[in-house]
Amino acid sequence: MQDAKALQVAVVGTGYVGLGTAVMLAYLGHHVTGVDVDQAKIDMLTRGELPIYEPYLDELLRESAPRLRWTTDYASAIPNADVIFICVGTPPLPSGQPNLAYVAEAAQSIARHLNGKVQVVVNKSTVPIGTGDWVARILEENAVDYHANRYLVVSNPEFLREGTALHDSLYPDRIVLGSDSPEAIERMAELYEPLLSQDFAAPVSVPRPDCYTQPALVKTSLSSAEMIKYAANAFLALKISFANEIAGLCERVDADIQEVTRGIGYDQRIGPHFLGAGAGWGGSCFGKDTAALISIGHEYGYEMPILAAAIEINQRQRQLVIAKLQQHLHRLKGKRVAVLGMAFKPNTDDLRDAPAHDCIARLIELGAQVVAHDPIAMPRARHEWRHLRYQEAESAEAALRGADAAILMTEWDDYRRIDWESALRGMRHPLVIDTRRVIGHFGGAGIVEQIGKRPASRVAEVTA
């Protein structure tokens, strides 16, 4: 991208979304300033270190460093910015509604440093319908010298998957821009022109897919863009819960859920993605966004029973894992249980709403001794899961050694490479609850039980 087309960009919030957005836009040639109130995080980024794990993000950070700056100072980031992204967290409240306190704080701080030229403020955080209008009012009320039609608000939801965030950023299915201002849409299209035309040089570590052409540009109203984000995540959560519900019936009729989902996934009306049965979905989006939609419905007297059922099924899957263990071990008190995988999905260290957390907590409650392992997320868990009493294992093999049972919670490639027949021979009882279909063909002695399928073997039955 030529400097003549480069825009000045500020990104407020350097979490998973903000950090990926900042690095990606800098790679495309824009001049980006990342803003965060956490000085320790800013110091790390200034040193070229990442506070999160995301494949290849460190490489792109180094390559884009000349166009990146990090600060806690709004006054040095906002006045000259052409586009300002709000990428702060919106954690759920007990009611299910998202907590917008961080969005309000960011919008107020942005407003105080706007300089009177046309500036576009972008809601990148996942926010309820109507938040765009609310942010516009915050800007109007807090700007030092407010100018009508100068400070334009856009909803530009992200559709990134942790673990493949750079791929999803550089080669998106669509870019959604919601605003009532044609000028704001035009500036955002200018910002994203390299993505829309795909004329940038693809990173070696994140190559352009062979069949990829260009993303769709979806121009909508503010409220429609906000609804698109919620509806997309809710539908994906529904697909996973549907697969899990069918998996339960598959076990009872001796069908294999993996064969069933493969068969229905070839139907273009359904598609193969997000039909993996297992311990249920986790992470920062699906649970929060489905709960938020239900909460919004309540505000308008509109019930959403399908989404409520999806959440119920997801919680049931987490309990199912423990129930399967109890069917074999009966009493868990005093048993040593290895839990492999702590992050909610592979290729990330994100522990938010991870199914493994609920699993470990329940095992401890039932008196089991838990030994846990994760290739990436253990350092983060050491801080965020301090309330859980478990032992760390230096390797998956060490966790399995002498265990009465193992529960495989995250489908890391590291676990696929384990010699499972040998590993089971080293366990006190050769029992694995494989919730993510990591173990392929198994012909050894022991029991490998998977969601939606009869146990792979019943040789050497486990005793209490």
Give me Rg for the CA atoms of the chain.
24
Say whether 275 counts as a known binding-site residue.
yes
Residue with tokens 């489905």: 290
Q: Is 365 helix (H, G, I), strand (E, B) or coil?
A: helix
Pairing of strands 83-86, 119-123: parallel
Say whether 159 counts as a known binding-site residue.
yes
Say whether 160 counts as a known binding-site residue.
yes
Say whether 124 counts as a known binding-site residue.
no
Say whether 162 counts as a known binding-site residue.
yes
Q: How far apart are CA 430 and CA 406, in angstroms?
A: 8
Say whether 434 counts as a known binding-site residue.
no
Q: With beta carbons less than 8 A apart as the criterion, state whether 400 and 420 touch.
A: no
φ/ψ of residue 458, rounded to 5: -125, 25
Instruction: Please report, as a single letter, which amino acid is at residue 351.
Output: L
Cβ within 8 Å of residue 119, ≥6 positions away: 81, 82, 83, 84, 150, 151, 152
Say whether 288 counts as a known binding-site residue.
yes
Cβ within 8 Å of residue 89, ≥6 positions away: 13, 15, 99, 102, 125
Q: With beta carbons less than 8 A apart as the criterion, state whether 98 and 292 touch.
A: yes
Q: Where are the alpha helices (DSSP H) in 254-377?
A: 257-265, 286-299, 305-329, 355-365
By C-alpha distance, which of 283, 287, 281 is closest to 308? Answer: 287
Q: With beta carbons less than 8 A apart as the criterion, state whether 171 and 212 touch.
A: yes
Say whether 34 counts as a known binding-site residue.
no
Say whether 336 counts as a known binding-site residue.
no
Say whether 324 counts as a known binding-site residue.
no
Structure tokens at 67: 């166009």
Structure tokens at 350: 């994100």
Cβ within 8 Å of residue 429, ≥6 positions away: 328, 329, 403, 404, 405, 462, 463
* Separation of CA 342 from chain center: 14
Q: How far apart are CA 332 and CA 308, in angstroms?
A: 31
Q: What is the DSSP letter of 274?
A: T
Q: Which residues are catalytic?
A: 285
Q: Is 447 helix (H, G, I), strand (E, B) or coil?
A: strand
List the binding residues for substrate: 159-162, 229, 274-278, 282, 345
